[in-house]
Structure 1
């Protein structure tokens, strides 16, 4: 692929030749022939750029490298477009007019493709960071496919685990424990990115009874001793530890509100309790309906 400086030198050379064309009409055909040659070479260079762009999209390269390449190609297309604007033929009958028009159309198409690819590349980069954080959080929970490469499927709006046996969507990941766990870690990963980039999204998240499935219906105190299975008690502890760890990462100005039945005996859990509503001490006092 020719360097930008080499292309610039070629364009300046063509510009100098064109000045001679308009001054010396008896030799205009010879200069037009030279111009056609330069246009043909520039067209081949643009086709090469197009080929390289398609290859870059297909190859699994880093997002930054692809972005740098697209910026360089955009500059090349811009400079070539400026050159074409400066050498407009005197009449529509000039032999180079048709080729120049075709070249302009080609440049316009490439510019449109570059803009679309840049948007897609940025989105892929963002999703890659969020997917890495989701995978990291999943290692703190004992879930099905925990530790596998996780990602968000924007078309189906679901979580997908990439495994050696192929992609597995959330609805095929088994129990409700998996669904709750993956929903929690996905929301935390999204807010981690939003706060990291200071995006204009409210910096709070509310979870309503994420551990409800683990407790019997008649449970009153929320202690782990009210959960029958050892695995379920471990899962409840792990879920709250993940929330605590994520809150320490998602800074600044982030608040996680959890409305839940659970009551762990750990000091870090107790320090996070703002208000405890149990028995007669209810969020909506029992006396209110009577009044």
Structure 2
């Protein structure tokens, strides 16, 4: 199946007048002076593809009331048209779309078929082009954002004069904040990395993840609310117990038991209300004093046990050192009744040896005693630590009760009377009973959401999508690198390779034999920017054809000669000359590449809008469809057309 091209662009005026610009397959050139309406053709095509506002100039608005474009793909044809609003009106909601074979161009508005609104008209065009991203509608019936539309496809078709030498925006529309996000988000779809089903799965996955995060935050907040409820209910019930509203605190601390006790307090008789027991506070202080005394006693014992363990360790070391010093006795156990030196009769050596043996036995017994006492002392010290922990817990409980008692008394003094305090306490109870429980608020099961997210995540297969996206980047980069090698450039964009990335859309330029990566802003020449944009545009179109993307096979370039001839007035005829300067030679290289690449891709159509006219180039002359200048009165909208009625 061939790709969609444009066969005619037409404007309708009063008295049945129609201005038709005919385009053929391959390269089509419109030349002329400034102000003759050349660039208006891009705005006309864009308007007929459902743009939100009409940007046609005032002269066109005053002399024509409708514009249309006829698209062809093999034997299939489609005519899209819009009513041109008068000067001062932003846009028109009336659109005409029809498809079929052998369609005739209308001469009047009444003969325009397929009247509809802009939204339905764009949907019709998308179905014809094959932009099959299914439309999901929200509850209010509006189309969901983020889907691929024909408006995103124009980024790959229009290379306007604002893009030709732009050092930041690679594609048409990327310099507009309200359009850039949609172009970036839908680029994987047009690169055929995503299909219609994966688009739906991806969108559903994003929605589920947002819903999961919302529900998780809500339930975490509810859990915190439950903890707050437990603490507040316990304090209120403790106050209610002291005031006699209830006879005892609930045994269990579950939410249900707490609520039941609160209801019981609210139903209690007013006569049961009594002042807090005045004897309770002194008793609590007495208990606190005893606990502090016990804690101090246990701490002293613990310090004594630790000191004993430390001294025992030191004593054991001393005993061991003494034992080593006296171990010489093991070498003199066989001493007899004679002197070991002169062999004279003597009992002194044997007495000394016996004394040493007795001393070592005593030392061994002391060491054994130490080893026997140590485990019991360690166990005793651990018991003391446990007692300290328990006593500290009891002390905290007594302190809490004292604090609550003091707080209650202060509150009684603030409310002046016990009756007002009781009313205040009952109000707290009513507020607590009015708090919703987590069981009633938890309407979404996070486990179910998590399972659905995991299933969709496995189906989306991000790793496989990334592989396909990297493959698309490599192919487009290879096409663009080959293209820029044939286009005129200047340093540092000579003998380079281009690397394309889709998110965010960017180009990296790498000089061969160098390891430095250059960005667009580093290239520093309008001639380089022009070559980059032309190479990328044709590389994308070549990839779209290979991937069977729904982007039409149509490219329009608006004045690629601007970097070479920035100050044109009337159209300039360029003839061959031996003295042609570098700018003319560079421009000819661009023209040669346009013809060569368009012939290579066959069903790719190029519309070139230019000032310059190469009279010595037969291809250029033959491809020129219109040549306008102010002297002859030739223009997009003839000067003899009558003005329309502004209604």
Note whether the superposition's TM-score is higher than 0.5.
yes
Deviation at 1:266, TM superposition (A): 1.0
Match of 2:250 in 1: none
Match of 2:640 in 1: 287
Q: Distance in 2 between matches of 1:114 and 1:217?
A: 52
Stretch moving more, 215-224 or 274-283? 215-224
Match of 2:584 in 1: 233
Tell me, yes or no, if the aligned pair for 1:160 and 1:169 is still in contact at 8 Å: yes
Q: Deviations over 1:56-77 (max 9, x none)?
A: xxxxxxxxxxxxxxxxxxxxxx
Match of 1:142 in 2: 488
Q: Compare relative contact order (CA 8 Å, sep 6+) and give the higher one, 1 or 2.
A: 2
Structure index of larger Rg: 2
TM-score by length of 1: 0.56
Tell me, yes or no, if the aligned pair for 1:216 and 1:226 is still in contact at 8 Å: no
Tell me, yes or no, if the aligned pair for 1:219 and 1:226 is still in contact at 8 Å: no
What is the aligned counterpart of 1:160 among 508, 530, 537?
508
What is the aligned counterpart of 1:151 among 499, 505, 510?
499
Q: Distance in 1 between matches of 2:531 and 2:596?
A: 14
Q: Deviations over 1:39-89 (max 9, x none)?
A: xxxxxxxxxxxxxxxxxxxxxxxxxxxxxxxxxxxxxxxxxxxxxxxxxxx
State the SS of the aligned residue for 1:214. coil
State the SS of the aligned residue for 2:611. coil
Match of 1:119 in 2: 465
Q: Distance in 2 between matches of 1:269 and 1:203?
A: 21
Tell me, yes or no, if the aligned pair for 1:160 and 1:167 is still in contact at 8 Å: yes
Q: Deviations over 1:224-274 (max 9, x none)?
A: 3699971111111111111111111223x3211111112112112122112
Deviation at 1:117, TM superposition (A): 1.7
Deviation at 1:289, TM superposition (A): 6.9
- Going from structure 1 to structure 2, the CA distance change for 1:226 and 1:177 (only over 3 Å counts) comes to farther
Tell me, yes or no, if the aligned pair for 2:473 and 2:501 is still in contact at 8 Å: no
What is the aligned counterpart of 1:270 among 608, 621, 641?
621
Tell me, yes or no, if the aligned pair for 1:135 and 1:147 is still in contact at 8 Å: no
Tell me the C-alpha RMSD between the 2 structures.
Answer: 3.0
Task: For structure 2, list consecutive stretches of 5 or more residues without a partner in the other structure.
Answer: 1-450
Deviation at 1:218, TM superposition (A): 4.5
Match of 2:546 in 1: 196
TM-score by length of 2: 0.26
Q: Distance in 1 between matches of 2:505 and 2:460?
A: 27
What is the aligned counterpart of 1:217 among 559, 563, 567?
567
State the SS of the aligned residue for 2:624. coil
Deviation at 1:157, TM superposition (A): 1.9
Tell me, yes or no, if the aligned pair for 1:224 and 1:262 is still in contact at 8 Å: yes
Q: Distance in 2 between matches of 1:272 and 1:231?
A: 24
Deviation at 1:288, TM superposition (A): 3.6
Match of 1:249 in 2: 600
Tell me, yes or no, if the aligned pair for 2:479 and 2:539 is still in contact at 8 Å: yes
Task: For structure 1, list consecutive stretches of 5 or more residues without a partner in the other structure.
Answer: 1-104
Matches within 5 A, 1:20-59: none
Deviation at 1:120, TM superposition (A): 0.8
Q: Distance in 1 between matches of 2:594 and 2:517?
A: 26
Q: Distance in 1 between matches of 2:544 and 2:567?
A: 37
Q: Distance in 2 between matches of 1:224 and 1:236?
A: 11
Matches within 5 A, 1:80-99: none
- Going from structure 1 to structure 2, the CA distance change for 1:182 and 1:235 (only over 3 Å counts) comes to same
Deviation at 1:121, TM superposition (A): 0.9
Q: Distance in 1 between matches of 2:568 and 2:607?
A: 24
Match of 1:96 in 2: none
More helix by share: 1
State the SS of the aligned residue for 1:212. coil
Q: Deviations over 1:190-247 (max 9, x none)?
A: 0111112221112211111121232252542323369997111111111111111111
Deviation at 1:146, TM superposition (A): 3.5
State the SS of the aligned residue for 2:627. coil
Q: Distance in 2 between matches of 1:216 and 1:118?
A: 47
Number of equivalenced pairs: 183
More strand by share: 2
Tell me, yes or no, if the aligned pair for 1:206 and 1:257 is still in contact at 8 Å: yes
